[in-house]
């Protein structure tokens, strides 16, 4: 298979993935509508009792550490904001779809731990540079490798070979993906994000996190996720499927306003925040 045949096969396989629950689509629509209110979003979410319970469990977890208990979705929306609650709904739904711990010889747990490290680091970098939606940066980091998760689910035997070659030969996993499928996980991630109608800034960050210097629409969020991926790999938290550490793109370094002396402080923040984030992920996955 070549070119368009590869894309057609992958896109046709997307049909095998579950559709996002209707509540997720409604929540994303409400979050993107400036005329919507907290009551509008609360009404939609509250119709799904299981989702409501999981969100309230999350917002009352140690990850957020609020001094008073939040007892209603409406309260959660007012305190956290539309985008953060939207991202919680999206994260819960995506993790439900890719929740197996091991598939076809691939350690999904290690991949999710890497994704979580990128999420935590994205939020740290976002706060440091003054990005106005640090929780959105967390979500972009958590979902940045959704293309890998999809390939594991849709092409388990092929992707096991890809991971084995990458780990056994010191090759970049993107290079091995392209040699097998002629596309990499970032592009497949974009197709999935388009298929599920993700917010455009999340889609671009997923697609371009290895090439932030080429991103013109959402350079800040894309640079955040790129930098977070590099730093999480340096920290060796989890595994992205290979052991390579990509170079930190100069353009992203400038956008993030980083200095070499900042790194030790950033690493300390990651270490401080990762345990709470593991609790966050555990609450989502266990329901």
In order along the chain (287 residues), what is the average pLDDT of each group of 10 residues?
63 77 92 91 94 93 89 94 92 85 74 95 97 95 95 87 88 91 92 91 98 96 98 94 91 96 96 89 78
H/E stretch holding 57 reads helix 49-59
- Tokens 């392209």 correspond to 178
DSSP 107: E
Structure token pair of residue 87: 């991202």
Contact yes or no for 256/223 (Cβ under 8 A): yes
Residue 105: its pLDDT value, please? 66
Nearest to 203 by CA among 220, 183, 186: 186
Query: Rounded to an integer, what distance in angstroms lies between the CA atom of residue 232 and that of residue 115?
Result: 9
Distance from C-alpha of 145 to C-alpha of 206, rounded to nearest angstrom:
7
Domain architecture of the chain: domains with CATH: 4-17+100-286 (1.10.3210.10)
- Orientation of helix 200-208 relative to helix 134-142, angle to 10°: 50
Q: Which helix (H) or strand (E) holds 102?
A: strand 102-103
Query: How many CA atoms does the CB half-sphere of 128 hold within 13 Å?
Result: 22
Say what the alpha-carbon torsion angle 13, 16, 22, 25 is, to the nearest 10 degrees: -20
Q: Which DSSP category does 240 fall into?
A: S
CA 147, distance to chain mean position in Å, is 10
Determine the pLDDT at residue 103. Answer: 67
Contacts with 236 (C-beta within 8 Å, 6 or more apart), sequence order: none
Q: Is residue 229 exposed (0-12), middle (13-18) or buried (19+ Cβ within 10 Å)?
A: buried
* Whole-angstrom distance, CA of residue 155 vs CA of residue 233: 25
| Contact by Cβ (8 Å): 238, 142 | no
**How distant, in Å, are the alpha carbons of 229, 259, 269 from that of 264?**
16, 11, 9
Nearest to 39 by CA among 80, 81, 94, 77: 77
Distances in Å between the Cα of 41 and the Cα atoms of 48, 115, 116 are 12, 28, 27
pLDDT score for 102: 61
* The pLDDT of residue 6: 64
């Amino acid at each position: 298979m070549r070119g368009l045949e590869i894309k057609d096969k992958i896109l046709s396989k997307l049909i095998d993935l579950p559709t996002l629950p209707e509540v997720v689509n409604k929540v994303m629509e409400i979050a993107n509508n400036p005329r919507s209110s907290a009551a509008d979003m609360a009404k939609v979410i509250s119709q799904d009792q299981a989702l409501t319970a999981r969100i309230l469990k999350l917002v009352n977890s140690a990850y957020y550490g609020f001094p008073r208990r939040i007892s209603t979705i409406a309260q959660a929306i007012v305190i956290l904001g539309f985008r953060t609650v939207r991202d919680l709904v999206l994260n819960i739904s995506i993790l439900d779809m890719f929740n197996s711990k091991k598939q076809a010889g691939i350690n999904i747990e290690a991949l999710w731990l890497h994704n979580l490290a990128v999420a935590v680091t994205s939020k740290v970098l976002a706060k440091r540079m003054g990005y106005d939606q640090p929780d959105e940066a967390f979500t972009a980091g958590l979902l940045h490798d959704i293309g890998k998760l999809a390939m594991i689910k849709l092409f388990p035997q092929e992707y096991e070979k890809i991971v084995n070659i990458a780990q056994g030969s010191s090759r970049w996993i993107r290079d091995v993906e392209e040699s097998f499928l002629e596309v990499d996980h970032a592009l497949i991630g974009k197709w999935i994000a388009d298929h599920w109608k993700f917010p455009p800034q999340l889609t671009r960050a997923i697609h371009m996190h290895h090439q932030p210097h080429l991103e013109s629409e959402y350079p800040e969020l894309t640079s955040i996720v790129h930098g977070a991926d590099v730093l999480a790999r340096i920290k060796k938290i989890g595994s992205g499927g290979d052991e390579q550490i990509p170079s930190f793109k100069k353009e992203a370094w400038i956008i993030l306003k980083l200095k070499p002396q900042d790194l030790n402080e950033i690493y300390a923040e990651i270490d401080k925040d990762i345990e709470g984030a593991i609790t966050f992920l555990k609450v989502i996955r266990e329901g």
